[in-house]
Amino acid sequence: MTTIAILGSGRVASSLASGLARAGHTITIGVRDIAIPRNWTGPDVRFASHAEAIGSSQIVINATPGAGSVERLTALADALAGKLLIDVANATSRDEDGAPSGLLYPTDSLAERLQAALPRTNVVKTLNTMLSSVMNNPASLTGNPTAYLSGDNTGAKSLVRSLLHDLGWQDSEILDLGGIATARGVEAVMLLVTDVMKATGFAPFAISPVR
């Protein structure tokens, strides 16, 4: 099995840690304060600094708040060199209620900026178009959801596809959109995700094409 660092300790990190640990992977949660967060709802895993978590893992997942991801991960560029970085974050501005209201990078994407800032790292965007509970349990929905892949390195995307299988995704539910520039579309969808949640509540859903 694989050693995986998940940077962040919110709902997304908890969901991914639960699913990947269930599949047999060794998970380290990278946090700024290595004490177990009071709101942690995931499995019993090791907590470490971001740098230590990255150093002990083959694959890194960015589940940090997207608004600060570029600055935070650029500072870890040497530790991330040669690694696969899976970006599941969304970089949005917030309204007065704290809800996403616009894209921080309307002319490109967070994933593209991470790839530009981390040229020695293979960045793949995925799983940002759904509620966190669907990430590790796609079968919870009545229809077939879609997990999109955006990235320049074919081998890196193959590894991500394998991890998605471990989370319960069928191959037919995984759609490779192409290079990292295609992350612009899936990141823009986050604004629709927010509006759907406002209209329907927090019932699990994913944004998927109907064929």
Can you state the percent helix, strand and coil of the chain, rounding each to 5? 40, 20, 40
Decide if 50 is inside a domain: yes
CB-count exposure of residue 209 (10 Å: 0-12, 13-18, 19+): exposed
In whole angstroms, what is the distance from residue 131 CA to residue 207 CA? 10
Kindly give the pairing relationship between strand 59-62 and strand 84-87.
parallel
Amino acid (one-letter) located at 104: L
Find the CATH number of the domain harbouring 68: 3.40.50.720
Residue 205 has pLDDT above 80, yes or no: yes
Residue 174 to residues 67, 86, 170, 179, Cα–Cα distance (Å) = 26, 15, 7, 15
Q: Which residues touch 200 (CB under 8 Å, ≥6 apart)?
A: none
Residue 68 has pLDDT above 90, yes or no: yes
Residue 130 has pLDDT above 70, yes or no: yes
In whole angstroms, what is the distance from residue 84 CA to residue 57 CA? 10
Tokens matching residue 44: 């019993």
Count how many Cα atoms sit within 13 Å of the Cα of residue 70 in the half-sphere of its side chain. Answer: 16
pLDDT band (50, 70, 90) for residue 95: confident
- pLDDT at position 20 is 97
Residue 128 has pLDDT above 90, yes or no: yes
Decide if 58 is inside a domain: yes
In whole angstroms, what is the distance from residue 126 CA to residue 81 CA? 20
Over range 140-153, report the average pLDDT: 96
Decide if 210 is inside a domain: no
Which residues form the domain of 130?
3-200
Q: Which residue has the higher pLDDT, 39 or 187?
A: 187
Residue 23 to residues 3, 71, 131, 136, Cα–Cα distance (Å) = 12, 31, 20, 10
Over range 189-201, report the average pLDDT: 86
Over range 56-76, report the average pLDDT: 97
Decide if 205 is inside a domain: no
Give bridge partners of residue 40 from the DSSP assignment.
none
Decide if 56 is inside a domain: yes
pTM of the model: 0.95
In whole angstroms, what is the distance from residue 204 CA to residue 40 CA? 20
Q: Are 90 and 68 in contact (CB under 8 A)?
A: no
Decide if 162 is inside a domain: yes
pLDDT in tens, 9-56: 999 999 999 999 999 999 999 998 776 666 777 788 889 999 999 999
Q: Which residue has the tokens 């069928």?
A: 170
Decide if 97 is inside a domain: yes
Decide if 52 is inside a domain: yes
In whole angstroms, what is the distance from residue 193 CA to residue 205 CA? 9
Lowest mean pLDDT among 43-47, 58-62, 105-109: 43-47
Residue 186 has pLDDT above 70, yes or no: yes
In whole angstroms, what is the distance from residue 93 CA to residue 88 CA? 17
- pLDDT at position 55 is 97
Q: What is the mean pLDDT of the chain?
A: 93
Q: Which residue has the higher pLDDT, 1 or 139?
A: 139
**What is the percentage of the chain residues whose pLDDT exceeds 70?**
98
Over range 157-174, report the average pLDDT: 98
Over range 140-156, report the average pLDDT: 97
Over range 100-107, report the average pLDDT: 90
Number of domains in the chain: 1
